[in-house]
Amino acid sequence: MKLLRYGEIGHEKPGLLDHDGKIRDISGVLSGDLGGDNLSPATLARLAGTPVDSLPVVNGSPRIGACVARPCNFIAVGLNYADHAAESNLPVPKEPILFNKAPNCIVGPYDTVVLPRGSEKSDWEVEIAIVIGSRTSYITESEVPAHVAGYCVCNDVSEREYQIERGGQWMKGKGCATFGPLGPWLVTADEIPDVGKLGMWLDVNGQRCQTGNTDTMIFNVAKIVSYISHFMVLEPGDVITTGTPPGVGMGMKPPKFLKPGDVMELGIEGLGSQKQPVVAWSKAAA
């Protein structure tokens, strides 16, 4: 299934994308929003068993929101592609590098990305994100598939000065408002035959910047989820974004960073695509 949320900011409803590309309203089947326990295996099985033709069609072209509602945790893995580590002039990690993104930085896949006030080094990162479906702690890699609800596209927007030059942890450059476009869909795990072999791409102003594949990840999905579960309890609806292939602005010679008026477009095979205009911070934009 391709699950999504549609409607104005703060008033999104849960939906499903049918085989004809139409949005179907699942609010009559789902009690509440698309997040938390509504991503459990039992709930997803009930949704999968509902005849799609019985679900109301959503008319028009509504805004598409983030595909997961209010995750408790938004966790990220750094330097998870060897080529990206090389372009960052950093060694390939021996264990996953973990940091937090603020859950309230999540926005829809076509929403505007707002550069932080005074930002000069904001950057792009196409990533595949894992969405947790079951409460998870101390699990083995072989147990991971039973705890994953699905996958989606994430743009791990990053302010490199805040992240690298301001001391402390990376999260300072990772959790700014609008720095977590997510979606357009949450694709349930059963629809992805091999999550370890998906093409990825990102363009800025129509120029291809990133081209990659999940088969070059240093730590795969099973390793990442199992590893994180040994340090914290993962809850249904939590999002884990898993690192980016090479081609970020920081790694270009000379470096290239986002500026107002830029447009980012990105996607992952089987998971859909995103498009975000970039604007400068202002009281209105904030």
CATH number at residue 155: 3.90.850.10
Indicate if 260 and 120 belong to the same structural domain.
yes
* 242 and 182 both lie in a single domain: yes
The answer to whether residue 275 sits within a structural domain is yes
Q: In angstroms, what CA-CA distances link 148 with 109, 164, 234?
A: 21, 32, 11
264 inside domain = yes
CB atoms within 10 A of CB 261: 10
Tell whether 146 and 197 lie within a shared domain: yes
Radius of gyration of the chain (CA): 18
In terms of domains, do 26 and 72 share one?
no
Range of the domain at 47: 2-64
Same domain, 76 and 212: yes
Q: Are 153 and 134 in contact (CB under 8 A)?
A: no
Any domain includes 189: yes
Same-domain check for residues 235 and 160 = yes
Closest to 209 in 3D by CA, of 267, 153, 162, 159: 267
Q: Give yes or no: residues 154 and 20 share one domain.
A: no
Specify if 34 maps to a domain: yes
Examine the domain organization and report whether 164 and 213 are in the same domain. yes
163 DSSP assignment: I
Statement to judge: residues 53 and 181 lie in one domain: no
Q: Tell whether 268 is covered by a domain.
A: yes
pTM for the whole structure:
0.96
Distance CA 272, CA 34 (A): 18
d(CA 272, CA 150): 13
Q: Domain count for the chain, please give it.
A: 2
> Does 286 reside within a domain?
no
Residue 183 lies in a domain: yes
Q: Can you read off the two tokens belonging to residue 104?
A: 């309230």
Of 19, 47, 64, the residue that ends a domain is 64
Would you state the structure tokens that stand for residue 223, as one six-digit string?
């390793």
pLDDT in tens, the chain (286 residues): 999 999 999 999 999 999 999 999 999 999 899 999 999 999 999 999 999 999 999 999 999 999 999 999 999 999 898 878 788 777 888 999 999 999 999 999 999 999 999 899 999 999 999 999 999 999 999 999 999 999 999 999 999 999 988 888 888 999 999 999 999 999 999 999 999 999 999 999 999 999 999 999 999 999 999 999 999 999 999 999 999 999 999 999 999 999 999 999 999 999 999 999 999 998 767 6
User: Do residues 42 and 122 share a domain?
Assistant: no
Q: What ranges make up the beta strands (E) of the chain?
A: 2-6, 13-17, 23-25, 64-65, 74-78, 97-100, 106-107, 113-114, 122-123, 126-132, 148-155, 158-159, 180-181, 186-188, 199-204, 207-213, 239-241, 263-268, 272-279
Is residue 59 assigned to a domain? yes
C-alpha 169/C-alpha 75 separation (Å) is 13
Looking at the fold, whether 136 and 235 belong to one and the same domain comes out as yes
pLDDT of residue 247: 95
Q: How far is CA 151 from CA 29, 131, 146, 191, in A?
A: 22, 6, 13, 10
In degrees and rounded to multiples of 5, residue 27 shows phi and psi of -65, -20
Strand ranges, E, within 189-251: 199-204, 207-213, 239-241
Q: Do 13 and 110 belong together in one domain?
A: no
Q: Are 275 and 203 in contact (CB under 8 A)?
A: no
Q: Domain boundary residue among 64, 80, 103?
A: 64
- Name the domain boundary from 34, 64, 94: 64
